[in-house]
Structure 1
Amino acid sequence: MMALPRFFCPIPLQINTIITLPPEVAHHAGRSLRLKEGTRIILFNGLGGEYHGTLLFNQGTAQADLDFFDSQNRGITGNITLVQALASGDKMDWIIEKAVEMGVSHLIPIKAERSVLQLSGTRLEKRQQHWQAIIQSASEQSGRNILMTLSPLQTLKQFFQSTEHANYLLADPEGDISLTHYLNQHHNSLNNIYFFIGPEGGWSPKETEEIVKHGATRVRFGDSILRTETAGIALSSAAASVLNWR
């Protein structure tokens, strides 16, 4: 059976109502996908659950007749935050998309000393909007009903000033303990994890010292040195599996 078309619809939704679809959703459904009147669709607004209904066209206006609410929220049961150093090119796009698919709760982009990509002003604002669109699109595709939270680009200093100490794990090929060993040791007490993932050139010695100073445990993941676009996704998936969060 083919999956029903899903659309992120950031407006109040309620069953037994007919709503007018926002222009971008209407364009996607009617123009891009060429869906016909009477097609069953799913809408979600990122607050939890999803609404099933029938696509209607009223004098050229796309609408949805909502008749069923499914409260299920697909994803993992724990909270994973990626503290991800800014990566170059389209790598950040890939990281964000896959983080959504893996069930990551929160992604915090960090302006690291060795980050090749430098963003500020209007360029940064446009990139943040672009990343948010990726989150919405990946949620539509993956069946996720609660959007991953994306923080503004910040420095490590800003991050530590605004975040209380949690389970900080620094991805490090020469770490003191394997990720699996650490997770098994703390299996019963973990419900949230922060993974610190460096840029292409790795965290600088100063940054590493700062992360460890704030209580992070260095964890290694196998014998391979993972690329920045691979590390966070691999560690998040492994953690969710080991902790039975899936």
Structure 2
Amino acid sequence: MPRFFVDTPLQQPGELVLPAGAARHVQVLRLQPGDVLTLFDGSGPEWRAEVTAMGRSEVRVNLIAAEQPARELARVVTLAVVMPANDRMDFLVEKASELGAAVLQPLVSERSVLRLAGERADKKRSHWQGVAIAAAEQCGRTVPMRIEPVLSLPAWLGALPAPAGDEWRGLLSPRAASPLAALAPSRALFLSGPEGGLSDAEEAAACARGFAAVTLGPRVLRADTAPLAVLSWLALS
């Protein structure tokens, strides 16, 4: 059954004119009155809906009933990642969304290859949010991963509050000796560096903000692989 995100609140059964983005998808698929689809607005529930009218300028559906599927991870996971270069960031956003991350924080660090700021950073963030929404439509999530504004690592660390009692912070480091172990807290925040890794000073600054340095094994993982390995482990643990 086709699934579409809509950027308008879905609150009760009844007729709805689809927003332009979802309407275009329905038109491209050539759905017809009587066809059934699933809609979600990012708040949690998903709605079973039926196409009632197709036109060149608008598509109307009837919201039938809402369900609250249990497809999120057992804990709320935030990934803070120093952005990998080229199309690797798109891949990371897509797969992190599929694997259940709640929030992705793009960062720029001392050894970053990809450096974004200003309007270019805003455009990339909007693009990545679209990638996350498309991944949610495909994989069945009803709460798309949220993409935060691009920040420098020092600025982001400086703004972090002290860790709460229900949060665990992990720094993915090839220099760490302690392996990632079972997590009890309901929230987890992972920081992952760029292709060249974080500098010693950056790792020290992260540890000063409550991060525990952990290793994912003896092999050096790419900047877009390490966060996904953590999410895969969390999804199965």
TM-score category, normalised to shorter length: over 0.9
**Aligned with residue 215 of structure 1, among 210, 216, 219:** 210
Partner of 2:127: 130
Tell me the equivalent position of 1:194. Answer: 189
Cα contact 1:78–1:240 (8 A) shared by 2? no
Alignment match, 2:17: 20
Name the structure 1 match of 2:179: 178
Task: Please give the alpha-carbon distance, in whole angstroms, between the structure 2 residues aligned to 1:59 and 1:149.
Answer: 32
Which structure 1 residue ranges, 5 or more long, are not aligned?
A: none
Residue 37 (structure 1) aligns with? 33
Which residue number in structure 1 is paired with residue 136 of structure 2?
139
Looking at structure 1, the residues matched to 100 and 150 of structure 2 have their Cα atoms a distance apart, in angstroms, of 21
Greater alpha carbon shift after TM alignment, 14-23 vs 159-168: 159-168
State whether residues 73 and 146 of structure 1, in contact with CA within 8 Å, keep that contact through their aligned partners in structure 2: no
TM-score under structure 2 length normalisation = 0.92
Shift of 1:59: 4.6
Q: Distance in 2 between matches of 1:70 and 1:172?
A: 40
Percent identity (aligned) = 32
The whole-number CA distance in structure 2 between the counterparts of 1:39 and 1:85 is: 43
Q: Structure 2: where are the runs of 5+ without partners?
A: none
State the number of aligned residues.
232
Report the TM-score, using the length of structure 1 for normalisation.
Answer: 0.89
Distance change in 2, residues 1:73/1:64 (3 Å) = farther
Q: Secondary structure at the match of 2:80?
A: strand
Aligned letter for 1:42? T
- Partner secondary structure for residue 208 of structure 1: helix
Aligned-residue offset at 1:158:
2.0
**Matching of residue 99 in structure 1 with residue 100 in structure 2:** no
